[in-house]
Every structure is written in structure tokens, then in C-alpha cells.
Amino acid sequence: LPLTAEVRDDHLFVGGVDMVELAREQGTALYVMDEADMRARMQSYLRSFRSRHENSAVVYASKAFLNKEAARIVNAEGLCLDVSGGGELACALAAGFPADRIFMHGNNKTPQELREAISAGVGRIIIDSRIELGRISQIAGELGVEQVVYMRITPGVEADTHQYIRTGCEDSKFGFTMRDDFAYRCVHDVLAAPNVRLAGLHCHIGSQIFALHSYPEAVEVMVDLMARIKQGYGVELGELDMGGGLGVAYTAADKPASIDEFAETVTAAVRAACEKHGVPLPRLLVEPGRSLVANAGVTLYTVGIIKTLPGIRKYVAVDGGMSDNIRTALYHADYEPVIANKAAHPRTEIVTIAGKHCESGDAVVVDMPMQRPDLGDIVAVFGTGAYNHTMSSNYNGQPRPAVVFVKDGEARVTTRRETYDDLMARDV
């Protein structure tokens, strides 16, 4: 639930705003973000890490959720920003996000994207391959600048999560592999490349991680590599970026670690590994996306059709689906729906909330408990703040929903709903 969610007179309120009224005013499907929730989590990340590791920074992974207002908020809260391509970079810059606090990621950034990033002056580019090193070196040379970079390492750690979002294991398209000491040998090339300065190492072991033990394992691999780089190349790398991945609760059954536990695990592991390998404490960075914004988000839908298949299931069809939330179809993700205009009623039914798209796999939730639905009810689905808007599509010609931020009883549209004209705007 968003931090400010509450029930008043049987209606769901978020940020002091009545979700039923908001749905009537703005139409559905609608993305709602609880601004106080986002800001509070950003501050707890900063506090949790800074209190344990003074020289640390939190880099928001904007692939989880981004629009200009989100970028402004992340900037105001003092976090850095991870962009995974030219589009996210353009949005951040348009929102006035300072380029020197932007980190650019991606396993196949195009030469054009690299040029955009380097000429904007992004603080760090995370190099993913040797081919990319050559491109960065050349473009920085042409632009007459020195680009600060990290190397992305694949530490060979299997994080305990869905295979589609596991990224640190040996068989991965991301980063420099530790196999046959390839990553260590490539450090030579990065150090030798003109117009490039290697400041640190990066890894990201996966996403929606519940069991934190993979982090100390990855830290050990990374700090060991830093120590060997110091010994072998005489270069002390001062920065270590451990990526994101902390899981969130989508249902009451999910018990993720807290931000504090995550910070404790990572910072303690870094301290221990640095002591063991005799390297100074680096500047420590983490790159959370989901755990900053998922719980702040609520999607509102209107119930349009109800079909009861006796002995099989009850289908409740809403005016959105896989176009605004692909996660259920893609990862069998679970969500807990509530009827926003019956929020105090008991959950007496097991329902499948289907979307309006032409696929049987198009569901928002499958067999979850909910209040008894009627046509015209407003369904609120919690936990949709991350990887929903950013993974949305126009499948079946569906215009994307608006994004409304709510705070202190006020609602403001931060991204307007798409129109049919928007859908055709690129057609010639």
C-alpha cells in the first residue's frame, strides 16, 4: 500500500484524495502516484546508507518509473539518476536534472546515445563491453573531454528471483564476465584507453530480490577484484556501485527485506571485504528502482464486464490490462486489488481481473480475493508504481493512461492521457 492510503466512508483515499472521485474526474485506466510515499522512501534510502557508510550515494533507476515530474522530485531529494538510454536521458535533462549526477547504463547504447550522454556531460557511463569502450574513447576524444566510467562486472552470483530479471549470473548479456578472468584483463584496456577515466566498478545482480545473501557474495567478488586491480595495475578504484534489486511486497504474503536491512547487509559486507582485502572504503553507490516507487503507485480501472463461469472462475474485465501492466502476463506477477468504492467491505470473492486486450494471457490479477464486484465499480490495484508506466504499450490501439501525482489532498496530472491523435502522430 502507498504510505498515505486510508479508507474513509468506504472509499479508498491516497494522498488525501478520494480515488473514486479522481477516477470520475480523470477517467480510467489511471496511474496514481503517492508523492509523499516516493519522497519518504528516497529519504530512507539516503539515511539508511549515509548513517552506515558516510561516503555513499543513491542512484534512482529511472527505468522503474520516469516522467519529468519524477525527475524533478528525484533531483530535489538529492539522489542521482540512472538512465538506460537516450530517451530517459532526454527526459531527465528536459526536467533540469544536473547531468553530472546522471549515470548512463545499457548493454548496447548506440553511438548516438553515447554522443548525447558525453556531450551533455553525464557524470558516469557504465561500460558494458570492450566494443563500447572503443566507442566512448573515440567520441570523448572528438568532443575534447575525458569521460568518467565504471566497468559493469558480471560477478557470477545467482540471485534468488525470476529468471527474466536475473542479471548477475555467468550466462548473461550484461557486463564483463569474470570467466577466465576476462574482466580483470579488460581493466588493462580501459586504463589504456585515451579520453576515458576508470573511477570504479559496477554490478547489478537482479531485481525483486528477497534473500539478501547474494549481496555479500557479490560484494566479495567486487572488492576482491578491486584489490587485484590495485595490486596488478597499481590503480586504486574509489567507487563501487552495487546496483539495485531490493524486492517489494505486492501481496500480504510477500515479506521483502527493509531498506534498512538492505543497507546494513551491503555496507557491512563492503566494510568486511575491504578490511579482508586491504583496500580503503570506496564511495558506495546503490541503484534502486522498484523499492523506491512500486508501492507508491496505484492503478485505477472501471469494471465493464463480469462473467461467471460456474466451477471455473469469475472474470472481471476492466478498461486496461496488459497495455498498462504487462507484468502479470510476463512474470506471473501478483497484485492485490481492492474496490475503491467498497474499500471497507470484506473480500468475499475470488476474482480474475482480465484486461480488454485480445489475448487470453491478458490479466491484471489471477484468482485473488476481492470485494464483490458490480459493473461500474472502481478497482484499485496496488504496487503498480514500478515497471508499469515505463513498460506500457498501445496494444489494440489503447491510449496510455495519464499519470496523476497526489499529495495533501491535491491531485495533479504529471503526464496527460494519450489521445487517438497521439497514436497516429508518427504515421505518414
Q: Which residues are catalytic?
A: 358
Residue 424, burial from CB neighbour count under 10 angstroms (0-12, 13-18, 19+): exposed
Nearer Cβ to ligand LLP, position 18 or 287?
287
Contact (CB, 8 A) for 17 and 409: yes
Shortest Å distance, C-beta 209 to ligand LLP = 7
239 forms bridges with which residues in the sheet? 200, 283
Shortest Å distance, C-beta 408 to ligand LLP = 27
Nearer Cβ to ligand LLP, position 206 or 373?
206
SS3 annotation, 258-320? CHHHHHHHHHHHHHHHHHHHCCCCCEEEECCCHHHHHHHEEEEEEEEEEEEECCCEEEEEECC
194 marked ligand binding residue: no
121 marked ligand binding residue: no
Q: Strand 11-14 vs strand 176-177: parallel, antiparallel, or unpaired?
A: unpaired
Shortest Å distance, C-beta 371 to ligand LLP = 27
Shortest Å distance, C-beta 117 to ligand LLP = 15
164 marked ligand binding residue: no
Shortest Å distance, C-beta 374 to ligand LLP = 31
196, 201, 205, 207: CA torsion to nearest 10: -70
Question: For residue 61, is the peptide bond before it cis, meaning its omega torsion is within 30 degrees of 0?
Answer: no
Nearer Cβ to ligand LLP, position 265 or 371?
265
6 is written with which cell numbers? Answer: 486510508
Nearer Cβ to ligand LLP, position 147 or 291?
291
290 marked ligand binding residue: yes
289 marked ligand binding residue: yes
335 marked ligand binding residue: no
234 marked ligand binding residue: no
**Binding positions for ligand LLP, rule: CB under 6 A:** 61, 63-64, 82, 105, 165, 204, 207-208, 243-246, 287-291, 327, 331, 387
Contact (CB, 8 A) for 113 and 107: no
Shortest Å distance, C-beta 158 to ligand LLP = 16
Nearer Cβ to ligand LLP, position 207 or 341?
207
Nearer Cβ to ligand LLP, position 231 or 393?
393
Q: Is 124 left (phi over 0), alpha (psi -120 to 50) or beta?
A: beta
404 forms bridges with which residues in the sheet? 32, 413
Residue 279, burial from CB neighbour count under 10 angstroms (0-12, 13-18, 19+): buried
Binding site as annotated, residues? 245, 287-290, 327, 331, 359, 387
Binding site as annotated, residues for substrate? 290, 327, 331, 359, 387
Binding site as annotated, residues for pyridoxal 5'-phosphate? 245, 287-290, 387
